[in-house]
With several copies, the nearest count.
Chain A
Amino acid sequence: MAIYINKSTRVLVQGITGRQGSFHTAQMLAYGTRLVGGTSPGKSGQVVEGLPVYDTVFEAMEAEPAEASILFIPAPFARDAAYEAIDAGIKLLVVITEGIPLHDALDIMDYAHREGTVVVGPNTFGLVSSGQCKIGIMPNRFYVPGPVGVVSRSGTLSYEIVGNLSDAGLGTTTVVGMGGDRVVGLGFIDVLKEFEKDPATEVVVLVGEIGGSAEEEASRFIAAHMSKPVVAYIAGKSAPPGKRMGHAGAIIEGGRGTFASKIEALHEAKVRVAELPFEVPSLVREALGNS
């Protein structure tokens, strides 16, 4: 079992002919993802990695319907591409694009909410149900089946942690990247709810960072609704206030979103907190032992 996606999920690649789009198309195919085609305006009829290219999502859906789509579309055009996917009936939209204007993200979320489409990202590495389906840009090799569900705000840091887990013999059910922007679709709580329901997930790893209040809200949710153990790591302990540490979300403003407040909230929710990323596997083992 897994959450959101599995081996029967049919996936479309928007922006398949670009450098990133074509590279990750190959990677996703190698992982075993059921890709059904891609889009690139004006390039209908081309073939990328053996997959048909269409002008529009509607055209692609006429040829073979897909449930999910992954966006490799430059930021100025990402909102339009997201609208297109949602309007054409895509139910899970993974937005890899970085640097999408904040108000465009608000517009995307609003329309997606209205149409019942789940958005992962923007500025996410995607999500993967280990051994079944990868819709994202994470390296293939660490995502092996196991009992751990992972949800993370940052990409490479989660690769690091999932790498540590797999080195320690701990595989994953589903790994979800929420995305590093201030406004993202799936949040911690959405994903935690799914992990709580997923029979294959025995323990959840939450990878957070400074800025915003998502970790604090997740803590309250965990305390109230999670029966499964949760392990957390929060990045940004050493970050100075007022500076944006890469991610739009990672900025401590007016005393809010600090490392301390997040750790306190997690402790209150009885979450096991790792001080450093490589401590995560032992805390997971501990949690598995206890559960």
Chain B
Amino acid sequence: MKLYEYLGKQLFARYGIAIPKGQMVETPGEAAEAAAEYGEAVVKSQVLTGKRGKAGGIAFVSSPDQARQEAARLLAMEIQGLPVEKLLVEEKISIDQELYLAITVDGASRSPILLVSLDGGMEVEEVPAERMLRWPVNVNLGLQPYAIREICRRLGIGGGLQKQMLELVPRLYRLFRELDAELVEINPLALCGSGLIAADAKVTIDEDALYRHKELPRITEKTALELRAEELGLAFVELGGEIAVMANGAGITMATLDMVQHYGGTPANFLDMGGGADLERTANALELLLATNPRAILINIFGGITRCDVVAEAFAQVKESRGVDLPVSFRLVGTNEEEGRAVLERMGISAFHSTEEAVRHAVEISLP
């Protein structure tokens, strides 16, 4: 779960990490009021994408009037398809040097990893690998002072800046661990005089751990249907094509989509119904599938923990209750396959044995 910059900065403040004075506003009037307090100010679109600077989503202003104008402009914008609904108005800070600092999880070392660079302010992908210091963190030890001193040495950071890092980095790491973050990123981390200030904040919280963070806000980038899927505990992504696809397992669902594309079709969605779903959950998944208004439906079940008969029964139920008339391509193998096929036969559906056949058929029936 990505957090807006202003929320990330609230968390930073809670952990003792310095941030610029500022406040979140939702109207040009509020923006003008806030800017009046700071004189020179910056108005920043609050959107969950990193490219807002290039997209013109950030404005520097010198007066409340200018703040009002710019806020109006920004609130009318879309950045990478995301509407701008909130702004952060902050005092302008005078920056001597920009650093990059982040902590995330490194699957390869199965550990947190600290990333530090003296090339702050630019897109992280643009920083040459040799100028980005990567330090895997032993979760048992955490980020101890010695590690920060060694990191600073490698980057040539000494004196007062090193001292600041020795204070800041452990705080950021504590936030990362205690709040179950997947990513905490400060870019740029601004050296202003002798102090380090987080000029930006990117915080992503692990959704699987949200249950133990009742205090955190709930932010979503999902569509209404994706939200509905989340409620149902299903992995669902809207893709905008013609064939509604459901399979059991993330990998096979992806592979099914790949095959749809390979044979010239367009998938309406990614829907992994997961393993071992019961009748109700399966029916819910099918309802979701219909809600994308597809031209055809492709269901690809390789029953392991999932039982073929349950999927077939659920389909029969939903088809009847909703009067579904869409063409369907069904693939059904594995646990309780015979029983499942029998149920489908009663509806006049003959399930395929191979994914390939099922996908080809689905593409055919999806064409106008």
Check A-B contact in the complex, CB < 8 A.
yes
Which one of A20, A83, A106, A238 contacts B112 once the chains associate, using CB atoms below 8 Å? Answer: A106
- Verify A102–B255 contact, CB threshold 8 A: no
Q: Which of A23, A163, A240, A246 contacts B235 (CB 8 A)?
A: A246
A56-B150, A247-B251 known; A110-B108 Cβ under 8 A: no
List the B side residues contacting A76 at CB < 8 Å. Answer: 211-212
A76 to B302, CA, bound (A): 28
Per a CB cutoff under 8 Å, which of B140, B208, B258, B267 touches A101?
A: B208
Instruction: With a 10 A CB-CB cut-off, give which of B112, B141, B237 has the most chain A CB atoms.
Output: B141
How far apart are the CA atoms of A13 and B252 in the complex, in Å?
27
- For residue B254, which residue of chain A has the nearest CB? A235
B111 surroundings in chain A (CB, below 8 A) = 106, 109-110
Q: Encode contact with A along B221-233: 1 for CB under 8 Å, 0 otherwise.
A: 0000000000000
**CB interface residues, A 36-82, toward B, < 8 Å:** 41-42, 44, 55-59, 75-77, 80-81
Chain B residues within 8 Å of A238, by CB: 254, 257-258, 260-261, 267
Indicate if A289 sits at the interface (CB-CB under 8 A). no
Beta-carbon contact of B270 and A278 below 8 Å:
no
Given A155-B304, A249-B107, A250-B250, the answer on whether A235 and B139 have CB atoms closer than 8 Å is no
Q: A212-B107, A240-B239 are in contact. Are A246 and B254 (CB under 8 A)?
A: yes
Q: Which residue of B lies closest to A257 (CB)?
A: B107
The chain A residue sitting closest to B140, CB to CB, is A110
Which of A180-188, A193-201, A223-231 binds B?
A: A180-188
The answer to whether B11 has its CB under 8 Å from any CB of chain A is no
**Cβ contact within 8 Å between B302 and A103:** no
Residue interface bits B242-254, CB-to-A below 8 A is 1, else 0: 0000011111111
Contacting residues, chain A, for B345 (C-beta < 8 A):
none
Cβ–Cβ contact A254 & B125, under 8 A = yes
Chain A residues with CB under 8 Å of B320's CB are none
Q: Please judge, given known A-B contacts A75-B208, A155-B249, whether A139 and B275 are in contact too, CB under 8 Å.
A: no
Query: What distance in Å separates the Cβ of A160 from its nearest Cβ neighbour in chain B?
Result: 5
Interface positions of A from 213 to 255, Cβ below 8 Å from B? 213-214, 217, 233, 235-240, 243-250, 254-255
What residues of chain A lie closer than 8 Å to B304, measured between beta carbons?
125, 137-139, 155-156, 159
Question: Do B254 and A182 touch across chains, with their CB atoms under 8 A apart?
Answer: no
List B contacts of A254 (CB < 8 A).
124-125
Asked if B14 is at the interface (CB within 8 A of a chain A CB), the reply is: no
Q: How far is the CB of B273 from chain A (nearest CB, A)?
A: 10
Query: A137-B304, A235-B255, A276-B258 are known contacts. Are A183 and B250 too (CB-CB below 8 A)?
Result: no
Interface residues of A in 1-31 (CB under 8 A from B): 19-20, 23-24
B305/A255 in contact, CB under 8 A: no
Most buried by B among A56, A137, A238: A238
Query: Complex: how many Å from CA A239 to CA B16?
Result: 40
CB closest residue in chain A, given B260 = A238
Judge if B164 is at the interface, Cβ distance under 8 Å: no
Report the bound CA distance from A183 to B141 in whole Å: 19
The reply to whether B251 and A156 form a contact with Cβ atoms under 8 Å apart is yes
Q: Does more than half of chain B's interface fall in helix, strand or loop, or is it mixed?
A: mixed
| Cβ–Cβ contact A160 & B252, under 8 A | yes
In the bound assembly, the distance between CA atoms of A233 and B206 in angstroms comes to 29
In the complex, chain A residues 105-157 whose Cβ is within 8 Å of any chain B Cβ = 105-107, 109-111, 113-114, 125, 137-139, 152-157
B153 near A153 with CB under 8 A, answer no
> Once bound together, how far apart are the Cα atoms of A102 and B255, in whole Å?
25
- The residue in A102, A185, A237 that gathers the most chain B C-beta atoms within 10 A of its C-beta is A102
For residue A84, CB closer than 8 A to chain B, the reply is yes
In angstroms, Cα B255 to Cα A255, docked, is 20
> Which B residue's beta carbon lies closest to that of A59?
B153
Could you say which of B147, B208, B355 contacts A277, with CB atoms under 8 Å apart? B355
Known: A156-B247, A214-B107. A239 touches B305 (CB 8 A): no
Interface centre among B255, B270, B302 (most CB of A within 10 A): B255
Nearest-neighbour CB distance to chain A for B226, whole angstroms, equals 10
**Contact, CB under 8 Å: B249 / A184:** no
Residues of B near A209 (CB, < 8 A) are 250-251, 254
**B-chain residues with CB within 8 Å of residue A237 when the two chains form the complex:** 258, 261-262
The verdict on A187 contacting B252 (CB below 8 Å), with A156-B247, A156-B302 known, is: no
Cα(A239)–Cα(B269), bound, Å: 10
A245 touches B270 (CB 8 A): yes
Q: Indicate which residue in B139, B251, B334 contacts A157 across the interface (CB closer than 8 Å).
A: B251
Contacts of A100 in B (CB 8 A): 208
CA distance A240 to B235 in the complex (A): 15
Q: Are A83 and B141 in contact (CB under 8 A)?
A: yes
Of B107, B177, B180, B250, the residue contacting A184 (CB under 8 A) is B107
Q: Are B247's CB and A102's CB within 8 A?
A: no
Q: List 30 A-B contacts (CB under 8 A).
A: A42-B158, A58-B153, A77-B145, A100-B208, A101-B206, A103-B139, A103-B177, A109-B110, A110-B138, A111-B141, A137-B304, A152-B251, A155-B251, A155-B252, A155-B304, A157-B249, A157-B251, A157-B254, A213-B108, A214-B107, A233-B255, A236-B258, A244-B235, A245-B270, A247-B251, A250-B250, A254-B125, A276-B255, A276-B259, A277-B259
User: Chain A interface (Cβ within 8 Å of chain B)?
Assistant: 19-20, 23-24, 41-42, 44, 55-59, 75-77, 80-81, 83-84, 87, 98-107, 109-111, 113-114, 125, 137-139, 152-160, 163, 180, 182-185, 187, 207, 209-210, 212-214, 217, 233, 235-240, 243-250, 254-255, 275-278
Closest 10 CB pairs of A and B: A154-B251, A156-B249, A246-B250, A157-B251, A84-B146, A101-B209, A246-B235, A156-B252, A235-B254, A246-B272
4 additional A-B pairs beyond A103-B209, A110-B140, beta carbons within 8 Å, are: A154-B249, A159-B334, A209-B251, A214-B108
